[in-house]
Structure 1
């Protein structure tokens, strides 16, 4: 491997975008810097003029996860085909200036596909990372199965956020390509157990007697938005409760909230949305406000937000989507509701709330222990080091 490999990571979403995909991209880039790599990130944005390229010399000014990373933001055009063709031109421009050894596609499409196309066009290595429902989206119509398969076949190294995603990639290829599972790393100093901040509860407008059901990230259909809303109604029929969304609702899914407000105005009035938060510390403080953390996803890789809630020793209820069962052991450190039965999420919340306080504390303690054992930066760094060694063999430049 080159003594200081130069890596370009292509990301569809990157801070200040919210959500697990953006945070995991920043964290991967920052972790590669800590391993001695020079790291550039190319991320798309609709906040800049179409086709414009903006460079931030140290992405640590954007997010603490990516200190030492050079961030290039590229404004998207109205159509995907124009944006991708222009992106290839920009990649060529950046490579001529900065001479990359490895291109890393963070999510299979379009970042992964573009990473492999560009790497092959200039004769350098590529790796792609499956992060969430990207495999499922491309497998079935209207997804592009041919492009998915080509990307998996041609990348030098395949990585995934969970063993479940790795198995799906191997199944599609009909062989074991040696998928490297990169465990999401949680900062357990920031995301740590502790009492809820009464001042924060008051600022959010949460009444003293209300139970707080929590969700963190960008809420949308695939994250179980309809089931969160129905769970709130179910719980509120038995006791005062609110739903705290730590982040925001994706704009195109906001119609679910509009319909819910029309049918259940009193329940809808108890949906508290924090909006985007600037720091991990602020996110952690909001997570500690939650009495139960909910992750009723329909599709998943390995959700960062769930792991952060477990690190904060919150009782968690999650679906069995993707890699979630790799983190949550039902009845030991949280509870699993099968995807097919998520209409019972509200009853599951009531069941957890009826547990003795010492039982809920024990659940949180076990959840915290799981994060400390499997989802620390040291485990992530070990796999990233192996990926670099496989993609850029020793002595290459």
Structure 2
């Protein structure tokens, strides 16, 4: 198939961007012609993965053809705005002139789904859309966005969703829905290289005492609770692999304790996450009152598959099926309990390889997951 992704993508940080990357790469490796149109190189600095040349090469020398909108060259007009949707749409139409796509796959409703809907109307190419939790809890409910986003969902030839809200989407009038679980890529395994924390990230702390927080720095992700506990840890160094609008505030608040217990290493591209998870002693997922009911971070699954113990907020620990028994729930609102749990986890052994294999059997094999999506996309064209 010739597939056009219109999507979040690295260097945008976050789980949806990473999932789109792994799927696009996997489909390309199976012989499909995959083109990704994104606005990733316009992402706000607070949510950008800072890529050096090696990271850019991973993206630009891939089997996946990548094109991003840029901030330069757009004439000024009043009222001033950045016409993301229009720029994405224009590139979609340009690429279709030469590649004649069979299918458009939009990942996230705004602006990618709107661009895909319009491109489909103009070219006759069917489109599918994959939504995130915030799409249906925040954006779809907004009075200025509801009608167009509802049209994106109901006009799509297929909507990729979670089983928990599949029925709701059918009630909205979606023609065809596919419940697709989160299945981490095969790279998330206990077998593989571990990152050299000093050479790759400048970490001077003992790797045997490092725990990892991965993701956006926001209150809903538990950053506030994590940094409150960081002041009390005794034997651990918390590596913060993420960014966000509140990063400067957190750094300022931690300035006196920074060098001892916390080190900020920046947002990490998805292809470096598995080796980073293998290199640390524990992964911390302190998510608390996130505000998106269908949300389920992939980070606990990825860490367990890499053999790394996971400290997780007791508010969400039960959301992971059979894998939940391998997680370590903790009350993240009690900073003393969380600090003790971090120190204990760092001192604990890694998960047994057999436990990782059990987890993989539970969450599914990535190659099978890709094959299922491949068949679902083909069914849309029949």
Q: TM-score, length-normalised on structure 1?
A: 0.75
- Is 1:292–2:293 an aligned residue pair? no
**What is residue 311 of structure 1 aligned with on the other side?**
305
Contact 1:103–1:125 under 8 Å retained in 2: yes
The reply on whether 1:272 has 2:242 as its aligned counterpart is no
Distance 1:240 1:356 in 2: 8
After superposition, where does 1:1-40 map in structure 2 within 5 Å?
Answer: 5-12=1-8, 14-40=9-35
TM-superposed deviation, 1:310 = 1.3
User: Could you tell me how far 1:119 is from its partner in structure 2?
Assistant: 1.0
Task: Give 2:113's aligned residue.
Answer: 112
Aligned partner of 1:223 among 221, 224, 247: 221
Q: Which residue of 1 aligns with 2:253?
A: 260
CA distance in 2, matches of 1:249, 1:232: 17
Q: Measure the CA separation in 2 of the matches of 1:321 and 1:18.
A: 24
User: Using a 3 Å threshold, how does the CA distance of structure 1 residues 202 and 169 change in structure 2: closer, same or farther?
Assistant: closer
Alignment of 1:249 with 2:243, yes or no, is yes
Map Cα deviations across residues 190-238 of structure 1 (whole Å, 9 max, x no partner).
Answer: 6548889686699512157x843311244344432222212323x42xx
Provide Cα deviations, 1:35-69, integer angstroms capped at 9, x if missing partner: 43211110114459xxxxxxxxxx99743799421
Match of 1:56 in 2: none
Give the alignment's TM-score, normalised by structure 2.
Answer: 0.78
Contact 1:60–1:69 (Cα < 8 Å) also in 2: no
Q: Distance in 2 between matches of 1:47 and 1:356?
A: 37
Indicate the larger mover: 315-324 or 90-99. Answer: 315-324
The alignment status of 1:333 with 2:332, answered yes or no, reads: no
| CA apart distance, 1:176 | 8.5
**Secondary structure of 1:249 counterpart:** coil
- Say which is worse superposed, 60-69 or 25-34, in terms of deviation: 60-69
Q: Which runs of 5+ in 1 are unaligned?
A: 49-58
Matched residues in 1 for 2:81 and 2:149: separation? 17
Change (3 A) 1:307 1:126: same
Go from structure 1 to structure 2 and tell me whether the alpha carbon gap of 1:195 and 1:121 turns closer, same or farther (over 3 Å shift). Answer: closer
Q: What is the rounded CA distance, in whole Å, between the counterparts of 2:247 and 2:240 in structure 1?
A: 13
Residue 73 (1) aligns with residue 68 (2): yes
CA distance in 2, matches of 1:66, 1:128: 26
Q: Which residue in 1 is equivalent to 2:172?
A: 173
Q: Is the 8 A contact 1:230 1:343 kept in 2?
A: no
Aligned-partner Cα distance in 2 for 1:152–1:323: 31
RMSD of the TM alignment (CA)? 3.9
Deviations 1:142-170 (A, max 9, x none): 7733333222111110113x434545544
Question: Deviations 1:312-339 (Å, cap 9, x if unpaired)?
Answer: 2111133478898235644x110346xx
Contact 1:60–1:66 (Cα < 8 Å) also in 2: no
